[in-house]
Structure 1
Amino acid sequence: MTIYDCAIIGGGPAGLNAALVLGRARRSVALIDNNQPRNAVTHASHGFITRDGVTPAEFRRIAYEEVLRYPTVEHLPIEVASVGRIESGFEICDLSGQRVQARKLILATGVKEVFPEIEGFYPLYGKSLFNCPYCDGWELRDQPLAVVSEYPDVFHKAKLLLSWSKDLIVCTNGKATLSDEQKQRLQSWGIAIMEQPIMSFIGHNGRLERIRFADGTEIPRTGGFVSPKFVQSAPFVEQLGCERTDMGGIKTDKGGRTSVPGLYAAGDASYIGPSQVVFAAADGSRTAMSVHMDLTEEEYG
């Protein structure tokens, strides 16, 4: 059986950029990606110079075209069932029993967003409701917007959004997440606060029209930002026994190395922060360099 220098699980920006760097370093790479990107609902990706406004599908097309120019990089379109440690490194098994072995392993599996269960949310998500203002704030500029969050980030997110629109309401969906001082400051900036539970988002053809609250109140809005909870996408993160951060990310050092020898993590799976393509790609590049350096030390001392 072929033993790759490195296997990469995940074909998002982090995994793809890691494969690019390792391919250019003439390392044998198994890029494992089942083509189920987290940002499939996203109409365009922003904030990446030379690629601002690119669709996720076009980004992946260009990335794969570039990555697979390097003969040592192989794309394996399989779905991982399990990952385990072996003497030579790691063994990945897919649902059919196919096995892939590698000396090093990069987890670029990303995270899943768990949104509050509010009727009408998903038909609007990715069209007029989003979670990252840096990704989609420009497209909603100067519109009447809602900031929806059950978490302490709601105050900070509302402040950020004032750069894009001054017509804001803050919705905590029945949770007491704001201090009295924060409420006073928000109100001083002209931001209304709705602390009652949200019954539904009402819209048409992907466009939000109004928000209905449990007490019957309705407020017209044309867009908004909803804060999710983030959880690891891959169940085998638990199997590998990686240390985790307080936010639930995979804990790494500055080179992407986890607490498990030979195992690395890149992108949203590790830092769980703003979901920016440019951040994830940079993290993949940095981690790939660490993998190459560590392999070189093992080979040449």
Structure 2
Amino acid sequence: MKKYDCIVIGGGPAGLSATLTLGRARRKIALFDNGTNRNRVTQESHGFLTRDGIKPQQFKNIAIKELESYPSVSVLNETVMGVNKDDQHDLFLVHTSNNQSYITEKILLATGIQEEFSLTQIRQYYGKSLFSCPYCDGWELRDKPLAIIAENDEHINHLTKLVFNWSKDLIVFTNGHQLSNKVQNDFKSKKIKVYTAVIKNLHGNHGYLESVELETGENILRSGGFVVPSFYRPNKFAKQLKCQVDENGGMITDDAGRTTESGVYIAGETEKAGPSSLMIAAADGNKAAFSINMDITLDRF
């Protein structure tokens, strides 16, 4: 059974960044990735210096190519099914879908999060014409007739005001939920129309939105927009390892990637259970790698 200094689970920007830093520190690292990263549906990634507009898979390919320069790093295209701690030897056992097991001293969880939508039709357009982050995709939708699709008063208020920076042609769809008078008045002053009727369907071609159909029979033309998903962690590794979370579902850490469980580290969206930019996630991975390497150094010196 192969033994590593650290196993990194998740090949998004956080996991890749951490693996690069640890490889450069001459640590024996295994990076596990199964290609289910959240941004795989996105056509372009934005806001990462020197890589603005890059396709997510191209970003990952470049990073993996860079890792090949470090002989102590292994990139394994396997799905991790479970992680257990061997308290007697202070090690972790990682089990994969192809019935392989690996041993490691430290483990970094960088598996990210996934979206859930109240409207199943959103998935057909998500990443092409409907997005969740204006900072990531607002520029491409600037000045277009956009839809804001959300059901929570606070979320609608926040997202609409933010997107207004990129386009003044906004229509809010609450899918059957009512807005407070204050929010409605704020929107009215900016000539932002609100439809509270239930959404019957979304219409478009090849992922590009054309209109929003309501149960009232109205069909409102829109060419893109922003939505508010809910997010969840796609696996139970943190729970299996008994890592503690706060009242909001975020992982409790020391702000340097260390969780409440010795030897377990976390980085990127996995930590906050909320969305993050490529650059911030990569920085989180780099920071966690510093902690991992220093802890290994102190353990062995």
Same fold (TM over 0.5): yes
**In the alignment, which residue of structure 1 is the partner of 2:72?**
72
Map 1:44-63 to 2 at 5 A: 44-63=44-63
Shift of the 184–241 alpha-carbon distance from structure 1 to 2, 3 Å rule, reads same
Shift of the 117–187 alpha-carbon distance from structure 1 to 2, 3 Å rule, reads same
Letter in 2 for 1:256: G
Quote how far apart the aligned CAs of 1:238 are: 2.4
Letter in 1 for 2:55: T
Quote how far apart the aligned CAs of 1:118 are: 4.0
2:93 paired with 1:91: yes
C-alpha separation between the residues in 1 aligned to 2:238 and 2:7?
15
C-alpha separation between the residues in 2 aligned to 1:275 and 1:150?
22
Letter in 2 for 1:257: R
**In the alignment, which residue of structure 1 is the partner of 2:5?**
5
C-alpha separation between the residues in 1 aligned to 2:150 and 2:68?
41
Native 8 Å contact 2:149 2:172 kept in 1: yes
**In the alignment, which residue of structure 2 is the partner of 1:185?**
186
**In the alignment, which residue of structure 2 is the partner of 1:142?**
143
Of 48-57 and 94-103, more deviation after overlay is shown by: 94-103
C-alpha separation between the residues in 2 aligned to 1:267 and 1:223?
28
Of 179-188 and 154-163, more deviation after overlay is shown by: 179-188
Q: 1:30-79: per-residue Cα shift (whole Å, max 9, x none)?
A: 11112222211110100001000000111011000112211111112111
C-alpha separation between the residues in 2 aligned to 1:292 and 1:197?
52
Native 8 Å contact 2:9 2:111 kept in 1: yes
Quote how far apart the aligned CAs of 1:187 are: 1.4
Q: Once the two structures are aligned, what percentage of the paired residues are identical? A: 46
C-alpha separation between the residues in 2 aligned to 1:130 and 1:247?
24
| Alignment size in residue pairs | 298
**In the alignment, which residue of structure 2 is the partner of 1:203?**
204
Native 8 Å contact 2:78 2:98 kept in 1: no
**In the alignment, which residue of structure 1 is the partner of 2:31?**
31
Native 8 Å contact 2:117 2:123 kept in 1: no
The CA RMSD over aligned residues, in Å, is 1.4
Quote how far apart the aligned CAs of 1:261 are: 1.2
Q: 1:268-290: per-residue Cα shift (whole Å, max 9, x none)?
A: 11123443111110100011101
C-alpha separation between the residues in 1 aligned to 2:279 and 2:171?
30
Of 196-205 and 285-294, more deviation after overlay is shown by: 196-205
C-alpha separation between the residues in 2 aligned to 1:224 and 1:48?
22
Shift of the 273–105 alpha-carbon distance from structure 1 to 2, 3 Å rule, reads same
C-alpha separation between the residues in 2 aligned to 1:95 and 1:227?
33
Map 1:103-182 to 2 at 5 A: 103-119=105-121, 121-151=122-152, 152-176=154-178, 178-182=179-183
C-alpha separation between the residues in 1 aligned to 2:60 and 2:42?
13
Letter in 1 for 2:235: A
Of 240-249 and 50-59, more deviation after overlay is shown by: 240-249
Q: 1:222-247: per-residue Cα shift (whole Å, max 9, x none)?
A: 00111110000223332222222444
2:261 paired with 1:279: no
**Structure 1: where are the runs of 5+ without partners?**
none
**In the alignment, which residue of structure 2 is the partner of 1:235?**
236
Provide the secondary structure at the position in 2 that maps to 1:62: helix
C-alpha separation between the residues in 2 aligned to 1:273 and 1:188?
31
Native 8 Å contact 1:82 1:93 kept in 2: yes
